[in-house]
Amino acid sequence: MKIWFSHGKDGSPSGDKIQMLAKIAGDRGWQYDSIDYRGMEDPRDRVDKLLVELSQAGEPVTLVGSSLGGHVAATASKDVECLGLFLLAPAFYYPGYEEHTPVPYAAHIEIMHGWKDDVIPVDNSVRWAREHAAVLHIVNGGHRFEENMQELAILFAAFLQKIEKLAGSAT
């Protein structure tokens, strides 16, 4: 099984969160790739780049995205067979882009968002989770989760376990 990571607007494909999550996935036997969107401002260009990568997957995918990367992952999910979406403070209902907020297509969706997020209001994830029956984890932290890395690791490992069970029941 393989995971594709999508970083945020000002992030990188080798940021601290992605490195930690990739290690957790790798330790469980997952393959992974982290798409490099640096220099790409238009979210649609990022989605297109991700879809090119996913077109060669040949199996159901699992997507992980942070902030703008969450928006990208959720948008791409409608064009592939997606088992799981794990979204970190996703950029949904962003001012000026509300009409572009994606409708997901995934067997299982989880969101982690911080109460103290000063970039994307937590209420945006509450609304989106309600509208799309996603599991929502709200933690006492900010947009980058610096103080919540241990919680993130635990939630991500549990998410992977759920996706593994889904994949096992699909075969």
Q: Which range of residues forms the domain containing residue 94?
A: 2-66+82-105+118-154
| Bridging pattern class, strands 61-66 and 2-6 | parallel
* 135 part of a folded domain: yes
Contacts of 56 (CB under 8 A, 6+ apart): none
Task: Convert the pLDDT of each residue in 57-82 to its tens digit.
Answer: 888 999 999 999 999 999 999 999 99
Does residue 49 belong to any structural domain of this protein?
Answer: yes
- Determine the pLDDT at residue 57: 86
* Residue-wise pLDDT tens digits, 122-141: 999 999 999 999 999 999 99
Q: Is residue 93 part of a domain?
A: yes
Domain count, the chain: 1
DSSP per residue over 50-115, as a string? HHHHHTT--S-EEEEEETHHHHHHHHHGGGS-EEEEEEES---S-TT-GGGPPPP--SEEEEEEET
Q: Where does the pLDDT of residue 170 fall: very low under 50, low under 70, confident under 90, or very high at 90 and above?
A: low
Quick check: 171 pLDDT over 70? no
Q: Is residue 76 part of a domain?
A: no
Query: Is 140 part of a structural domain of the chain?
Result: yes
Predicted confidence (pLDDT) at residue 157 exceeds the cutoff of 50: yes
CATH number at residue 141: 3.40.50.1820
Full-model pTM: 0.95
Does some domain include residue 33? yes
